[in-house]
A and B are shown apart, each in its own frame.
Chain A
Amino acid sequence: MPLDRAAVDHVARLARLDLSEDERARMQAELTQILGHAEKIQELDLDGIPPTSHSVPLSNVLRPDEVTPSLPVDEALANAPEAEDGRFRVPRIIEDA
């Protein structure tokens, strides 16, 4: 099923990718092709087959409620692109759509 341009724009927004016009056009074609290939699994009858969400046979892996040392503040902020007053500074927050 071909992907329309609106879908590309919607997904780009969801994924926070400011794609250029060129990128959007190319993405539309490439994704359509890849999804077309992936769509072959649509033909399979998978009723009654449980999905595998984890391939390790583990459950209940927990840790005790104990405090371990945190990073010193300067280390926590060392990679911050912008910091102010011991906090990470970000541009004006606007609500999405």
Chain B
Amino acid sequence: MDLLWASATELAGALGAGEVSSREVTEALIERAEAVDPKIKAYLQRTDERALADADAADERRSRGEMRSAYDGVPLAYKDIFVTRGITTTCGSKILENFVPPYDATVVERCDAAGLPMLGKLNMDEFAMGSSTENSAFGPTRNPWDLDTVPGGSSGGSVALVAAGAAPWAWGTDTGGSIRQPAALCGLVGVKPTYGLVSRYGMIAFASSLDQAGPITRSVKDAAALLNMAAGGDDMDSTCLKEPVPDYLVGIDRGIDGMRIGVVKEFQGEGSQPGVRARVDEALTRLEKLGATLEEVSMPSFEHGISAYYLIAPAEASSNLARYDGVRYGHRSAADDIVQMTSRTRDEGFGAEVKRRIMLGTYALSAGYYEAYYGKAQKVRTLITRDFEKAYSNVDLIVSPTSPTTAFKIGERTDDPLAMYLSDVYTVPVNLAGNAAVSVPCGLSDDGLPVGLQIIAKSLDEKTMFRAAYAFEQDLGLDERPNI
């Protein structure tokens, strides 16, 4: 078994069969990181010592037959947005460059409890604001498929590491597409679960009503398995749903015969690159071959998704980021008075995109503008939710391309924020309505770069989504890897 390219499920199987130890796996991944990370720069911080100690502990537990879970000993890495006790957590920003949290995110706690060794913290767009990871204060991450291109964002480090064979899986977060879009650009599976399914405690907030943590993996089963470990109620998060969570692996291979799949009318035609369009069309054909029926669904409100998103997300972010003021933690600039100190700290500590969104959000909420901007955007959100509800009365799932383009060149869009924002056009409506979606690889474009198919489920219907994604994945049988 090639330890670098095996799925997490395969590794778990090998560990269980005694074919390999957790230490061996971890060492192999660390070695791989040594080789590839200088090129892709996915890591902000490797935690080798911790990873090996965790691995040894896992092996020890296994020798006593006391595994914490079926995946005990399968290493994992975290987007640096998840707070990790005693381990610097920067959120891709200078303003938190030296922040060492005294607590763990719930997602981290649950994966620890499942026995997954921690490989390290991964690069991201600063405060999750971006679609290319070029907004990281610590330099961009590069796409393993083509080092001159972006891996997507904001979970760029997470996807690059997994795509490069240096981790079997990783956690990312998705506010407007930040798991799905990079997963598509790097040929991986990326899930944004239903809002409220996974606890947000310890996940540094960007836009509170949109943020969700999700798995980034090489296979659909891995994504279901990782989601199993983290999903479910948390006393520390009052927006986290309390209902019992199903086992997402059960029934995942039931196939999609008879499923009704909606194709978004408004997303047809213009907007996507021809290569993307082609792979997605082929994917639709394959879904039909597998027994699904396709129907057109009309989602007229989707047209306003980006506008609504770029008012709501920055508004919430402007408030969430107010706490970074140099008083209790993080960077502090020198100054004579508190106003000067806070203003300089934030001007020096935040990058351009973050400042832009804070300004935008503050403006959208300010006196006289609330109703026109934030207020109206919240109403558009209702329209989008209603469009989804109406569609789901006729179909089980909705599909679309994940990203209008394949990976673009580093530097290509950094001067045009609006162009950058438009890469989220297919993903943003799902965050606004709060339902679930997955991006699965559906082939390579003519430029040799990965294309992703987005499968959208209604709220709390991840099982249907996983079934379709799995059936598609198995039938497609993609076996492409980047040359790195």
A interface residues, Cβ below 8 angstroms from B: 3, 7-8, 10-12, 14-20, 23, 27, 30-31, 33-35, 37-42, 44, 46, 49-56, 58, 61-63, 71, 75-76, 78-82, 88, 90-94, 96
**Which single residue of chain A is at the shortest CB-CB distance from B376?**
A41
Q: Is B217 located at the chain interface by the 8 A CB criterion?
A: no
Chain B interface, number of residues (Cβ within 8 angstroms)? 68
What 6 A-B pairs come out closest when comparing CB atoms? A55-B434, A51-B378, A79-B329, A81-B332, A18-B343, A61-B238
Chain B nearest CB from A57 CB (Å) reads 9
B367-385 contacts to A (CB < 8 Å): 372-373, 375-383, 385
Contact A55 B99 (CB under 8 A): no
B241 within 8 A of A: yes
Whether B338 contacts A50 by the Cβ 8 Å rule is no
A19–B241 alpha-carbon span in the complex (Å): 41
Asked if B304 is at the interface of the complex by the 8 Å CB criterion, the answer is yes
Report which of A35, A63, A75 forms a contact with B360, defined as CB distance below 8 A: A35
For A96, the closest partner residue in chain B by CB is B339
CB contacts (< 8 Å) of B328 on chain A: these are: 79-80, 88
Q: Is B366 an interface residue (CB 8 A)?
A: yes
- B433: interface (CB < 8 Å): yes
Asked whether B385 lies within 8 Å of A16 as measured between CB atoms, the reply is no
Q: How far is the CB of B348 from chain A (nearest CB, A)?
A: 8
Chain B nearest CB from A73 CB (Å) reads: 12
Instruction: Give me 16 other A-B pairs in contact (C-beta within 8 A), A15-B318, A51-B382 excluded.
Output: A8-B359, A11-B359, A11-B362, A16-B346, A19-B355, A23-B347, A27-B356, A30-B417, A34-B421, A37-B310, A38-B307, A49-B379, A55-B195, A55-B433, A58-B238, A90-B338
Residues of A within 8 A of B344 (CB): 18
* Chain A residues positioned under 8 Å from B272 (CB to CB): none
Q: Give complex CA distance A23, B355 in Å.
A: 9
Is the Cβ of A31 less than 8 Å from the Cβ of B360? yes
Q: Which of A16, A41, A44 has the most CB of B within 10 A?
A: A16
**Are the C-beta atoms of A52 and B381 separated by less than 8 Å?**
yes
Let me know if A31 and B359 touch, CB within 8 A.
yes
Answer yes or no: B437 CB below 8 A from chain A CBs.
Answer: no
Chain B residues within an 8 Å CB radius of A62: 238
With A7-B363, A38-B310 as given contacts, are A44 and B376 in contact (CB-CB < 8 Å)?
A: yes
Interfacial chain B residues near A49, Cβ < 8 Å: 379, 382-383
Is residue B482 contacting chain A, with contact meaning CB distance below 8 A? no
Residues in A with CB closer than 8 Å to B173 are none
Asked if B163 CB lies within 8 Å of chain A CBs, one says no
Minimum Cβ distance to chain A for residue B387 (Å) = 12
Note all chain B residues with C-beta closer than 8 A to A41. Answer: 304, 307-308, 311, 376-377, 380
Residue of B nearest to A50 (CB): B382
C-alpha spacing A55/B327, complex, angstroms: 33
Say whether B176 faces chain A, with CB atoms less than 8 Å apart.
no
CB distance from A44 to the nearest CB of B (A): 7
Q: How far is the CA of A16 from the CA of B130 in the complex (A)?
A: 22
Q: Is the CB of B330 within 8 A of A81?
A: yes
Chain B contacts of A54 at CB under 8 A? 209, 239
Q: Which B-chain residue is minimally distant from A49 (CB atoms)?
A: B379
Contact indicator A17/B310 (Cβ below 8 Å)? no
Instruction: Select A17's contact among B98, B336, B346, B366, beta carbons within 8 Å.
Output: B346
Given contacts A11-B362, A30-B356, contact A58 B346 (CB under 8 A): no
A34-B318 Cα distance, complex, nearest whole Å: 16
**CB <8 Å contact, B434 and A42:** no
Among B100, B330, B340, the residue within 8 A (CB) of A91 is B340
A18-B340, A51-B381, A54-B239 are contacts. A78–B100 as well, Cβ < 8 Å?
yes
- Which chain A residue lies CB-closest to B381? A52
**Are A79 and B376 CB-contacts (below 8 A) given A16-B346, A17-B346, A56-B196?**
no
State whether the Cβ of B358 lies closer than 8 Å to any Cβ in chain A.
Answer: yes
A34 touches B379 (CB 8 A): no
Q: List 30 A-B contacts (CB under 8 A).
A: A14-B362, A17-B355, A18-B344, A27-B355, A31-B356, A33-B417, A35-B360, A35-B363, A37-B307, A38-B307, A38-B310, A41-B307, A41-B380, A46-B383, A51-B375, A51-B379, A51-B381, A52-B432, A54-B239, A55-B433, A56-B195, A78-B100, A79-B329, A81-B327, A81-B331, A82-B332, A88-B328, A90-B341, A91-B340, A91-B341
Inside 8 A of A14's CB, which chain B residues have their CB? 362, 366
A70 to B308, CA, bound (A): 40
**Closest chain B residue, CB of each to CB of A8:** B359
Q: Contact at B337–A93, with CB atoms within 8 Å?
A: yes
Q: Are A11 and B363 in contact (CB under 8 A)?
A: yes
- List of A residues within 8 angstroms of B362 by Cβ: 11, 14-15
B102 contacts the other chain (CB 8 A): yes
Asked whether B380 lies within 8 Å of A44 as measured between CB atoms, the reply is: yes
How many Å lie between the Cα of A10 and that of B308 in the bound state?
Answer: 24
Contact A75 B380 (CB under 8 A): no
Residues of B within 8 A of A50 (CB): 379, 382
With contacts A61-B238, A79-B99, A90-B327 taken as known, whether A53 is within 8 angstroms of B418 at the C-beta atoms is no
B235 close to chain A: CB less than 8 A:
yes
